[in-house]
A and B are shown apart, each in its own frame.
Chain A
Amino acid sequence: MEAFFEHFRLWLAAFLTLGIFSFLYKDNPWYKLTEAIFVGISAGYWFVVLFWDNFHGKFWVGAGEYSINWVVAKLTGAQAPPPPDSSIDFMLWVGAFLGLLMLLRLVPKIGWISRWPLAFIVGSTGGLWLINYFASNVMVQAQATMVPLFSSAFGTGFDQNADAVIGALIIFLGTFSGLVYFFFSKAHTGVFGGTARVGVFFLMITFGASFGYTVMSRMSLLIGRIDYLLGDWLGMIK
């Protein structure tokens, strides 16, 4: 039976892969079936993951189960659960309450209440990330752009580690001219316009490099699937 399922798994994966590839020829029922299976399974998978890891794994285990057992015990007069240990965190009820408020969008008359948890999320995320981004993406990056050319890190002159010196100059020039290009309060004419034009060249090189990397990544995905079809499925390659 196990062998049968192994064969079935190989053929099913190949069937679905070829179904997606068939779109390259034209839109067709095989592709539509495969796409529908993919979308359905993805939605189901994420629902299960989020339910078990967030609702059950965090809230229910962390506070919900204990609290409900305690309330039920109080109401029915049964023996109350032992005092909470360090694994119980009643703060999780705050998150659960805000989550419930979010669901009020489904009730049109009081749907506006769902803006409160949204405001909490936007505010807390913004506050947290403002510091992180400013420190990591502004301060450290700006510092790395303005390195002293003749410090011990680069040797004592151009003859020592010249590539690092040239690299630092290019990074400075690219950053500066790129910033000039995005300065729109002054007309891009004269020296200012020339600098902005240099910035455009740097931007184009950046976009080109990014596109090249994207092609490499997409090809990698294709290589992975073809390796599966010709190797794992048909055994034509090692």
Chain B
Amino acid sequence: MTTRTKELIAVAAILVFALIFYIGRVSGWQATEFSTGTSIVVVVLLLASLLWMLALTIRGRLIGRRVVFLYVGVAVAMPLFMKLSQEMPVSLAVLGVYDAVMELQPGSKVLIACDYDPPTAPELQPMAETFIRLCFQRDLKIIIMGIWPQGPQQANLALEKILAEPEIAAKNLEYGIDYVNLGFQAGNEFVIQRMGGSFKSMFRTDYGGIPYDDLPLVRNVRNFSNIDYCFNLSSGFPGTVEWVQIAVDRYGVKLGAGNTAVQAPTVYPYLSAGQLTGLLGGMSGAAEFEIAADARGKGTKYMLSQSVSHIVVIAFVIIGNVAFIMSGRRSALKG
């Protein structure tokens, strides 16, 4: 059998597998969930196979890169089926955001700047949902905006989900009075700069085209001095760094931030210098915030996958180093 035939068979197998499960999903099949016992067995098998690979490496047999990819995929996928929950302490950085929201009086105006897009949604969307829910629970008024084009769209997805929850739906929140989405504005960091003088100059209408002055919530909001707290969800430039440099250091805004893990190390110095009230860093930050707000969601659910995949990455770093040392020793023996 040629390689091409094998590849075609593999693709056909994936298609058949997908079709079966898709038809099952449409027909109302229940989602699969591993019991605690099965979950432990899966984790033990995964660890045992990693040890076996280490042993093979020590004996001089190297593993291919595709095996590494496969293991990472399995390590990410399997925990999504598991019922195991992971205990996580809530860090001071995350508590900083939570406490800042809890200290606000009902009716306070909170500006949420959504500066991210769908690729980083697994990290930032759980933060957005938890933050918006917490604000509504505390009867805070939410003003959403974005200097990334897809940020306000992501915010709308979060709003749609949160507003459908029974506890929040019971509050009968009204658009324009309790929350508003001002939409995207082009201009990167200069938008923040101009907002320091006038919000209206940057947002003549909201996301749906309603004039600024026709929105009761923002009608009297002139600039940052009318905002009680600001929360920035950021996955790059322009983002938290620019919000700190302009909104915080120039206009004295009280700012909390939720960042992708890649960006978090760049932003941590602002936290320790007091320029941020708190920081949610990556998926662990999202999970901790959910725990702090007592609303476990996707952030917490994803953390088990994150932890198992980290164990696999660490294991392969060790295996790779062992392979490197062994190859050096073999070269020395030959040489």
Give A residues with C-beta under 8 Å from B. Answer: 11, 14, 18, 24-25, 49-50, 53-54, 57-58, 87, 128, 132-133, 135-137, 140-141, 143-144, 171, 206, 209-210, 213-217, 219-224, 226-227, 230-231, 233-238
Contact = CB atoms under 8 A, between A and B. Distances in A.
A219 B122 CA distance: 10
B121 A226 contact: no
A215 B21 contact: no
Nearest to B22: A234
A214 B261 contact: yes
Given A136-B275, A206-B265, A213-B265, 20 more contacts: A25-B66, A50-B186, A128-B193, A136-B244, A136-B245, A209-B265, A214-B261, A216-B282, A216-B283, A217-B123, A219-B313, A220-B122, A220-B302, A221-B119, A223-B122, A224-B121, A231-B80, A235-B25, A235-B31, A237-B81
Contacts of B264: 213
A109 to B, nearest CB: 32
Interface of B: 14, 18, 21-22, 24-25, 29, 31-33, 66, 69, 72-73, 76-77, 80-81, 119-123, 149, 184-187, 193, 204, 244-246, 248-250, 260-262, 264-265, 269-270, 272-275, 281-284, 298, 302, 305-306, 309-310, 313
A200 to B, nearest CB: 18
B contact face: mostly helix, strand, loop, or mixed: helix
Contact of A217 (B66, B244, B260): B260
3 A-B pairs with the lowest CB-CB distances in the bound complex, closest first: A235-B25, A224-B122, A144-B273
Contacts of B283: 216, 219-220, 223
A220 B261 contact: yes
B31 A58 contact: no
Nearest to A234: B21
Contacts of A18: 14
A236 B31 contact: yes
Contacts of B121: 224
A221 B245 contact: no
A24 B66 contact: yes
Which of A49, A58, A224 has the most C-beta atoms of chain B within 10 angstroms of its own C-beta? A224
A223 B249 contact: no
A220 B282 contact: yes
A220 to B, nearest CB: 5
Contacts of A221: 119-120, 122
